[in-house]
Copies of this chain bind each other. A is one copy, B any other.
């Protein structure tokens, strides 16, 4: 960490900074320049927070040298992590196709959509049983009943199922049914939940928070990894900006940026990012072209009657027609679209 002091910092102030650096077990390298004194802190800076120094009155700026995350970084592991569940892969040259309804709304609906998307080439099923909703008056999901329908869909299709976990108290329940645990954008910094899924032996899809920087997203992945679970799939789903034409601004750059910084696979959720059905295919294509290891697509048998997220759900027919086009994009970047 490099600490730049304000012009006119006193000898006593310089000493205080040095003392603080040493209290973390690091050593100091101090350069007194004409205009500024600069102190380098040498050693493992991971346990030292920049804020600890930014707060000192004599400090002007602080620059981290090393990344604040370790286990999830490319420096720690050069090769791409490939997550495999029931024979289906995410990462390593395969573009996974995760499809299904936003919410599990009923048995017939879940099994119907599940079979349809499986027959089109989906490699994972998705469906929410616990739904985080902005309004307390909106449909909150079917709970365990929804999980049971997901399980039946898995039995019929043979595909692994992914579903969201919102509350540490539901872990045992969700783990019993799900192959992949999803942590939603609003829980990306629910650190207690991250710690709990870190103790599991199940892959975790970690969605990026609405206003999370890439570094914060990787720090949340580090929470999971630091508990022992390294089967983490990062999922870009758009960030919040001033633009109102789309529900969120899909940050397609985050895909190549994260793949440079981390060995973890990165997928994209164009349905939530866009909030509009007509944008799902262009964004899915863009994500794959930019290097995504998978796309998560909402499919609903009757979007007009969906209990949640209708606007962005494809009908099964539209989903089927999109597949050959995504397949060509995957091939153009030297990858294979799973099962398609």
**What is A's interface to B at a CB cutoff of 8 Å?**
2, 4, 7, 16, 20, 23, 29, 31, 33, 35-36, 38, 40, 42, 46-47, 49, 51-57, 61, 63, 65-66, 68-69, 75, 132-138, 166-169, 186-187, 189-192, 195, 210-211, 213-216, 219, 222-223, 226, 239-246, 249-257, 260, 273-279, 282-283, 285-291, 303-306, 308-313, 325, 328-329, 331-333
Contact = CB atoms under 8 A, between A and B. Distances in A.
A245 B333 contact: no
Contacts of A40: 31, 38
Nearest to A34: B42
Contacts of A242: 211, 213, 239-242
Given A169-B168, A276-B54, A283-B290, A249 B239 contact: yes
A305 to B, nearest CB: 7
A147 B273 CA distance: 41
Contacts of A277: 55, 57
A273 to B, nearest CB: 7
A47 B16 CA distance: 33
Nearest to A244: B213
17 contacts: A2-B2, A7-B75, A49-B135, A55-B311, A134-B189, A135-B219, A136-B191, A136-B222, A136-B223, A136-B226, A210-B211, A211-B242, A213-B242, A239-B242, A244-B244, A286-B289, A329-B329
A311 B250 CA distance: 24
Nearest to A140: B191
A49 B133 CA distance: 10
Contacts of A309: 51, 55
Contacts of A214: 243, 245
Contacts of A287: 286
Nearest to A187: B190
> Residue among A42, A53, A287, A333 with the most chain B CB within 10 A?
A333
Contact of A245 (B31, B211, B213, B303): B213
Contact of A325 (B191, B276, B332): B332
Contacts of A49: 135, 138, 308
Given A51-B309, A55-B311, A288-B289, A283 B253 contact: yes
Nearest to A313: B55
Contacts of A167: 168, 192
Given A56-B311, A75-B7, A255 B282 contact: yes
A186 B216 CA distance: 12
Given A168-B167, A279-B253, A304-B55, A137 B286 contact: no
A319 to B, nearest CB: 15
Contacts of A4: 63, 65
Contact of A257 (B245, B254, B257, B260): B245
Contacts of A256: 278-279, 282-283
